[in-house]
Structure 1
Amino acid sequence: MPEGDAVYRTAARLRRALDGRVLVRSEFRVPRHATADLSGRTVLETVSRGKHLLTRVEGDLTVHTHLRMDGSWRILPAGGRIPGGDQVRLVLANTEWLAVGVKLGMVDLVRTSQEDRVVGHLGPDLLGPGWDPAEAVRRLLARPEVTIGEALLDQRNLAGIGTIYRAETLFLRGVWPWRPVGEVPELEGLVALAQRLLAANVAPGSHPAAIVTTGDRRPGYQTWVYGRAGKPCRRCGGRISRGEMGAQPQERLILWCGSCQPR
């Protein structure tokens, strides 16, 4: 599933193509909204909220989408052939651009005034203008018995972290992934680091195709532990371990260094 930085960049692409322009075509290829038509309405803005995308249209309407594991938005010149075949879930077009949502995990049409129905459960957005680290810590501590590895992926605590940023944040803080939240020292510093890592990867000049947490953009040097199972730790030389966290069928990949992140 894409991390929050990838969704943030997707929102930026949709903004450039859709915001401020009148829709001349809309096709909701999902049964629930198959008869909806937004043609003639102006797109007001597109924003990301954690891993969710909100495209607000005049008339108090919001198109809510989520990429899940395989979804993507493709931006093409208007008039081109729609790629994706029967995998297309949504088409939004103006006279200049064609936005095609392929394999989208969620497609909803809600009142803008009622967006909380689809994103109200989310915790503070690490890349949002209202990022609130104190609230993120408060939410994490509400369940002190949960492992920090599982808590960081719970979007109700803080929105935007995926398996890559979880692994990298915990490594850099020296925290064993299975440590209970209530036993993790300086949670404020941990969530602040996670926010800085995501922000660095959407800053001007960052590469959209790769997450970099080491500061080294060379292929093979971009992360500390993620994607490096069985390889030597960049700090201590020990072997990077790989496992899974969470209850089935929701278990997710986790990587860590047993020496730098001791039990």
Structure 2
Amino acid sequence: MPEGDVLRLTAARLHQAFAGSTLTRVDLRWPGVDDATLLGAVVTEVVAYGKHLLVRTDHGWTLRTHLRMEGSWRVARTGSAQARGRSPYVRAVLGNDTWTAIGHRLGMLDVVRTRDEHVLIGHLGPDLLDDDLVVDVDLVREHLLGDRPQTPVAEALLDQTRVAGIGTLYASDSLFVTRVHPWTPLAAIPEDRLVLVLATAQDLMRRAVAEGLGARKKLVHARTGRPCVRCGTAITVRQARRPPYERPIFFCPQCQSEQARWA
């Protein structure tokens, strides 16, 4: 599933292509959504919040999309073959005189009044990539710990209602960097260590946004069976959360053992 860094880069690309321009083509292939709501509107900005994309317009309407597991937005020159949007997997097409954006395999799509965006994203925790967000003990206490401190830390990191933007990659790698066993209950981890976990995830994502996704260095994520970069032990994987929301979490059973913890 695309994580906060991918959404932030996607929003930047769409903002560059559409901000200040009039939507001359709107094709939303989603039940109950009216294309005419956005047609002719000027895009004011495109922003990301956690794993959600918000295309805001001067008409006071917002297009919200979520990529889920396989979704993506691709930008092509208007009039080019790539801009036709004929694939059966296309769920949305937005176009201006210069650029056309094609939304493939989108998992969610809504058009709401901009003033009502909170109805769709108000349940989310703070966006870890918010430029003004400071990761500190207060953030950990209020949002990560909250009223469910017995939750395993890996599952808490994946819970978008606590902190938005972290997926399996940054949950796995931030816990590896900080030597925390993924199934340790939040309450059993010192608060300063939880601050370090969140700050590490934030730093890794910010680096990917600044330097591009090619700068990502997967430390344990998707490295099942390969040697740990620290100790050489084979990386393993377990499922976090219950079906149908289960997600793989990768870790080093030596560096992140329940006995070693964060020593």
Q: Residues 194 and 164 (structure 1 numbering): CA distance in 2 closer, same or farther, change over 3 Å? A: same
Alignment partner, residue 51 of structure 1: 51
Q: Matched residue pairs, number? A: 251
Task: Name structure 1 gaps, 5 residues minimum.
Answer: 213-221
- Whether contact under 8 Å (2:26, 2:35) holds in the other structure is no
Q: What secondary structure does 2:165 align onto?
A: coil
Alignment partner, residue 103 of structure 1: 105
**What is the aligned-residue RMSD (CA, Å)?**
1.4
Alignment partner, residue 121 of structure 1: 123
Moved over 6 A (4+): none
Residue by residue, what CA displacement relative to the aligned partner does 1:169-197 show, whole Å, maximum 9, x if unpaired? Answer: 00011100000011112212221111111
Residue by residue, what CA displacement relative to the aligned partner does 1:37-77 show, whole Å, maximum 9, x if unpaired? Answer: 42221100000001000000112110000011111111111
Once the 2 structures are TM-superposed, how far is the Cα of residue 132 of structure 1 from its aligned partner? 4.2
Q: Residues 63 and 136 (structure 1 numbering): CA distance in 2 closer, same or farther, change over 3 Å? A: farther
- Say if 2:91 is the partner of 1:89: yes
- The percent of aligned pairs where both chains have the same amino acid is 43
Structure-2 separation of matches of 1:25 and 1:70: 24
Give the AA of the match of 1:128: D
Give the AA of the match of 1:116: H
Once the 2 structures are TM-superposed, how far is the Cα of residue 34 of structure 1 from its aligned partner? 3.8
- Whether contact under 8 Å (1:2, 1:69) holds in the other structure is yes
Structure-1 separation of matches of 2:212 and 2:129: 17
Structure-2 separation of matches of 1:35 and 1:241: 47
Give the AA of the match of 1:18: F
Residue by residue, what CA displacement relative to the aligned partner does 1:166-224 show, whole Å, maximum 9, x if unpaired? Answer: 11000011100000011112212221111111101111xx233x452xxxxxxxxx322
Map 1:235-250 to 2 at 5 A.
235-250=230-245
Map 1:128-139 to 2 at 5 A.
128-133=130-135, 134-139=138-143
- Say if 2:145 is the partner of 1:141: yes
Q: What secondary structure does 1:178 align onto?
A: coil
Choose 36-45 or 58-67, whichever is displaced more: 36-45
When the two structures are superposed, what TM-score results if normalisation uses the length of structure 1? 0.91
Match of 1:200 among 204, 207, 213: 207
Give the AA of the match of 2:247: R
- Say if 2:259 is the partner of 1:254: no
Structure-2 separation of matches of 1:24 and 1:137: 47
When the two structures are superposed, what TM-score results if normalisation uses the length of structure 2? 0.91
Once the 2 structures are TM-superposed, how far is the Cα of residue 84 of structure 1 from its aligned partner? 4.8
Q: What secondary structure does 1:36 align onto?
A: helix
- Say if 2:179 is the partner of 1:174: yes
Q: Residues 137 and 199 (structure 1 numbering): CA distance in 2 closer, same or farther, change over 3 Å? A: farther
Q: Residues 261 and 73 (structure 1 numbering): CA distance in 2 closer, same or farther, change over 3 Å? A: same
Once the 2 structures are TM-superposed, how far is the Cα of residue 136 of structure 1 from its aligned partner? 4.6
Q: What secondary structure does 1:202 align onto?
A: helix
- Whether contact under 8 Å (1:229, 1:255) holds in the other structure is yes
- Say if 2:150 is the partner of 1:154: no
Structure-2 separation of matches of 1:211 and 1:30: 35
Structure-2 separation of matches of 1:244 and 1:102: 27
Structure-1 separation of matches of 2:102 and 2:125: 28
- Whether contact under 8 Å (2:37, 2:61) holds in the other structure is no
Q: Residues 95 and 136 (structure 1 numbering): CA distance in 2 closer, same or farther, change over 3 Å? A: farther
Alignment partner, residue 219 of structure 1: none
Q: Residues 229 and 66 (structure 1 numbering): CA distance in 2 closer, same or farther, change over 3 Å? A: same
Structure-2 separation of matches of 1:149 and 1:198: 17
Once the 2 structures are TM-superposed, how far is the Cα of residue 80 of structure 1 from its aligned partner? 2.5
